[in-house]
A and B are shown apart, each in its own frame.
Chain A
Amino acid sequence: MTVDEVVAELSDGMTIGIGGWGSRRKPMAAVRAIVRSGLRDLTVVSYGGPDVGLLCAAGKVREVVFGFVSLDSIAYDPYFRRARESGSVAVREYDEGMLQCGLRAAAHRLPFLPIRAGLGSDVLVLDPSLRTVRSPYGDGGPGEEVVAMPPLRLDVALVHLNRADRHGNAQYLGPDPYFDDLFCLAATRRYVTCESIVDTAALAALGPPQSLLLNRMMVDGVVETPGGAHFTSCVPDYGRDEPFQRTYAAGEWDSFADRYLSGDEAAYQAAVRS
């Protein structure tokens, strides 16, 4: 598949979960393909980085479900910031642990999962649909009150890993799997982009079995996109492109989009190299 074929299977108004974390191992080639598409009114669920910023800047987003949006080495994403401050996107803002809890509830097909995070904070005020429950196992008294985190069900999960085979078995070679497996389990349709597609036998040679984060029952489509996480990090294949990220974060959207996003992914990669 190509990233444009993946995006052709999406539709307006869908809830899209995006893997990675901050400005780390984000499926940016897929995000760029959404930017090029006619898609709109998306709900984006993300441990947010420039994926969220790009989609907001391109006017693709109706609602962001997030715990934070950050470029890591630069604290804030200018385009998410602009979208919030102009009121152009709706948000559901949760503690980052609540986001995991909601994805897990969806993955486990449960109506909710208990979590302590959120109690006492404005998370519960800002999302009045959230409920708390009391433990039915109270020691004689009323049981402890916890948040009943509802499932964050995804129509689509987009994740980027280092290697995959054509069946959808996929491998991370960096230090952190982030929550990419959970995003896939919480989603109806799951797409993996990767630095390179290799034979199944080669995966085992590249790393230990526990590096095989996704297996083929968790994945519906595989795309080879070298540099597909650029400008976020995809270690050990490459680190974050800090100079490029600074260019992005300068906040000059028109010139950035004109120079880097006016063509397809190959044109993007060529523009980055030039």
Chain B
Amino acid sequence: MTLADVCAVACAEVFRGDGEILASPMGLLPSLGARLARATFAPDLLLSDGEATLLSVDGEAEGWLPYRAVFDVVAHGRRHVVMGANQLDRYGNQNISCIGPHSRPVRQLLGFRGAPGNTVNHRTSYWVPRHSPRVFVPAVDVVSGVGFDRPGGPFHDVHRVVTNLGVLDFGGPDRTMRLVSVHPGVSVSDVAERTGFPLCVGEVRTTRTPAPAELRLLDSFDPAGAREREVPS
């Protein structure tokens, strides 16, 4: 069992209880997590191949989901996206647009992509492979994904932040970020030191470790061990 395996399970856990909805994991670890969740405790999740085809748990095409249909699902709301974040603040505001002033950025990033629409339409979680004060900042430079101190409307639902150090929810005062678990071998102070705002600490558990069957599934999804490169132990 490696840290990457623990992170994959933590990413899977964000989908627990979601039912028959579209899981949209961005990036390797969220994708492994979504597949693991569907193969075990969340069998009703729908997953695409990353292009326009929905694949069943056995890898058979079970639906067509071009981008235009994804946009419909976003507005319809039966979706849980796990996005990355170049910056996140304590309220869950996320930036994937640019660093520095928008009129002339120090660093141009991806752009708003679907973050504004995702966050006001359906459940959103975040995956941060390198938990650091550069990501967890007092205030983001551009608000792409909407946090809890802004008017998110009736369907705003920012759920969890999974990092290489632990798992956070938004159960702190005024719906601020709160540490709920640390991965094995990580201390609460480790997380606090690598968070750029005062960390709200709840009743902190140790993130659950993968069961043997889960480890076998992760190895079958990622036989080359690409996850170890994203999250080195």
Q: A95 at interface (Cβ–Cβ under 8 A)? A: yes
Q: Mark A119-145, 1 if CB is under 8 A from B, else 0.
A: 111110110000000000000000011
In the complex, the answer to whether B108 meets A85 with C-beta atoms within 8 Å is yes
- A117, B52: Cβ atoms closer than 8 Å: no
**What does the 1/0 interface line of B66-103 toward A look like (CB < 8 Å)?**
11100100110000000000000000000001100011
Q: Are A123 and B116 in contact (CB under 8 A)?
A: yes
B154 is an interface residue with CB less than 8 A from chain A: yes
Q: Is the interface of B mostly helix, strand, loop or mixed?
A: loop
Q: A68-B110, A87-B103, A123-B116 are in contact. Are A117 and B121 (CB under 8 A)?
A: yes
Among candidates A68, A85, A97, A120, residue contacting B152 with C-beta atoms closer than 8 Å: A120
Contacts of B68 in A (CB 8 A): 100, 177-179
A97 contacts across to B, CB distance below 8 A: 71, 74-75, 114, 117
Q: Measured between C-beta atoms, what is the minimum distance from B18 to chain A in Å? A: 20
* Cβ-based interface call for A96 (8 A): yes
Residues of B within 8 A of A177 (CB): 66, 68
**Known pairs A76-B110, A119-B146, A177-B66; A95 contacts B115 (CB<8 A):** yes
Distance A21 CA – B114 CA, assembled complex (angstroms): 14
Q: State whether the Cβ of B197 lies closer than 8 Å to any Cβ in chain A.
A: no
Closest to B71 in A: A97
Q: Which residues of A contact B226 (CB under 8 A)?
A: none
B215 to chain A, nearest CB (A): 29
A119, B111: Cβ atoms closer than 8 Å: no
Chain B interface: which size bin? 35 or more
The answer on a CB contact under 8 Å between B67 and A178 is yes
* Among listed B39-47, B137-145, B174-182, B216-224, interface-contacting one: B137-145
> A interface, how many residues as a size bin?
35 or more
Q: In the complex, what distance in Å separates the CA atom of A66 from the CA atom of B113?
A: 9
A85 contact from B105, B150, B151, Cβ within 8 A: B105
**Complexed CA–CA distance, A119 and B145 (Å):** 10
The yes or no answer to B28 lying at the interface (CB within 8 A) is no
Chain A residues, CB < 8 A from B150: 120-121
What mask results when residues 78 to 104 of chain A are scored 1 for a CB within 8 Å of chain B, else 0?
Answer: 001100111100000111111010000
CA A86 – CA B151 in complex, angstroms? 33
Q: Mark A54-94, 1 if CB is under 8 A from B, else 0.
A: 00000000000011111000011000110011110000011
Q: Is the CB of A120 within 8 A of B113?
A: no
Of A75, A87, A116, A118, which is within 8 A of B104 by CB? A87
Q: Which residues of B contact A236 (CB under 8 A)?
A: none
Least distance between A97 CB and chain B CB atoms (Å):
4
Contacts of B144 in A (CB 8 A): 121-122
Residues of chain B lying within 8 A (CB to CB) of residue A85: 104-108
Most chain B beta-carbon contacts within 10 A, residue among A115, A145, A176: A176
Pick the 8 closest A-B CB pairs, nearest first: A117-B117, A68-B111, A175-B52, A120-B146, A121-B116, A84-B108, A95-B116, A120-B150
Give B residues with C-beta under 8 Å from A.
Answer: 51-53, 64, 66-68, 71, 74-75, 97-98, 102-117, 119-121, 142-146, 150-156
**Known contacts A98-B117, A122-B144, A175-B53, then 7 further A-B pairs from the complex at CB < 8 Å, ordered by chain A residue:** A68-B113, A97-B71, A120-B120, A120-B150, A120-B156, A145-B153, A176-B66
6 chain-A/chain-B pairs, Cβ below 8 angstroms: A67-B114, A86-B104, A95-B114, A119-B116, A119-B151, A123-B112
